[in-house]
Homo-oligomer: A and B are copies of this chain.
Amino acid sequence: MLHAMQDSPSLLRSRGLRATEPRKQVIAALSCGSVPRSPQEIFEAVEGAVNLVTVYRMLEDMEKAGLVHRHHPTGKFVLCPMPEQKGHHGFLHCVRCGKTEEFMEPALCKIENTIAKRAGFTPVSHLSAIDGHCAACR
């Protein structure tokens, strides 16, 4: 997350997006605290410095670019800590404090592929979210 905050311009450019002021601000807001945020919450976090409509459009672009992910079932957004890595990203989400961390676990992927195959499905993408209490909120 920090790497994104420290150098959001190159992060953006590496994904084919221009490094604009609004985008840098939104990334900065998202990189604070590992908590998923809704468009409205991001808008408030930047204190209205970026238009809400722009936040919507931006998140759409950044999601396509793999820079942010939507956390389900909340539907909020988090910065992807490893945008270069392909594969199944999953979330660990604390229902008390909201802290959310992303993980990648090949073994989980493998089982999901097995389940899909068994049912005659050709898997394309996976989504998994684990809700619970984090160490601090135990």
Contact = CB atoms under 8 A, between A and B. Distances in A.
B130 A126 contact: yes
Given A105-B115, A108-B111, A130 B138 contact: no
Q: Report the copy number of this chain in the oligomer.
A: 2
A127 B95 contact: no
Nearest to A91: B127
Interface of A: 70, 72-73, 75, 90, 92, 94-95, 101, 103, 105, 107-108, 111-112, 115-116, 119-135, 138
Contacts of A133: 121-122, 124
Contact of A132 (B70, B92, B123, B138): B123
19 contacts: A73-B75, A75-B75, A94-B121, A101-B119, A103-B115, A103-B119, A105-B111, A105-B115, A108-B108, A111-B111, A112-B128, A115-B130, A120-B134, A122-B133, A123-B131, A126-B129, A126-B130, A127-B127, A127-B131
A63 to B, nearest CB: 11
A72 B127 contact: yes
A119 B103 CA distance: 10
A131 B95 CA distance: 25
A53 B62 CA distance: 34
A135 B117 CA distance: 9
A125 B131 contact: yes
